[in-house]
């Protein structure tokens, strides 16, 4: 009972450098595994494995083209990230203002308070 969940969520998937690089590489269009291997300069098995993770969380999809496999970003898969980040951002913006930041940064140095 130590760890939490498998890599099976979008946030975790994007938490890895290699996978973000893959997404970036696919941002401009489809690519085969071999092309990605070359562009990222990583081993083929690793690229395949990372692609698998991305596929499992629906951030990418693929189709067969001859002997190759063309991967592409699956836009709807980005929704959870966009929604969470958007929601967080707007909520924070609604509840904080410049004055807050200003005051807080001032108070960060020293402060006295007595109350609960």
Q: Which partner from the list DNA, a second copy, none does 79 bind, CB cut-off 5 to 8 Å by kind?
A: none
Contact 77, 60 (CB under 8 A): yes
Residues facing 77 on adjacent strands = none
Question: Which of 6, 27, 41, 45 contacts a second copy by CB under 8 A?
Answer: 27
43 near DNA, rule: CB under 7 A: yes
* Phi and psi, residue 6, nearest 5°: -70, 170
43 near a second copy, rule: CB under 8 A: no
What strand order describes the sheet that includes 60-65?
31-32, 68-73, 60-65
Q: Which residue has the tokens 């499992």?
A: 56
- Considering only 59-67, 78-86, 88-96, 97-105, which stretch makes contact with DNA by CB under 7 A? 59-67
Contact 77, 58 (CB under 8 A): yes
- Which residues 84-103 are close enough to bind a second copy by CB under 8 A? 84-85, 88-89, 91-93, 95-96, 100-101
Q: List interacting residues with DNA (CB under 7 A).
A: 1-7, 12, 15-19, 32-34, 37, 42-53, 62, 64, 66-69, 111-116
């Amino acid at each position: 009972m130590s760890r939490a969940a498998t890599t099976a969520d979008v946030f975790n998937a994007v938490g890895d450098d290699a996978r973000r690089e893959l997404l970036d590489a696919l941002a401009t269009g489809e690519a085969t595994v071999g092309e990605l291997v070359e562009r990222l300069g990583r081993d083929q098995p690793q690229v395949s494995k990372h692609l698998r993770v991305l596929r499992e969380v629906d951030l990418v999809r693929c189709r067969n083209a001859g002997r190759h496999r063309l991967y592409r970003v699956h836009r709807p898969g980005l929704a959870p990230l966009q929604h969470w980040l958007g929601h967080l951002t707007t909520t924070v913006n609604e509840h904080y203002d410049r004055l807050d930041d200003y005051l807080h940064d001032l108070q960060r140095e020293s402060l006295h308070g007595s109350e609960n």
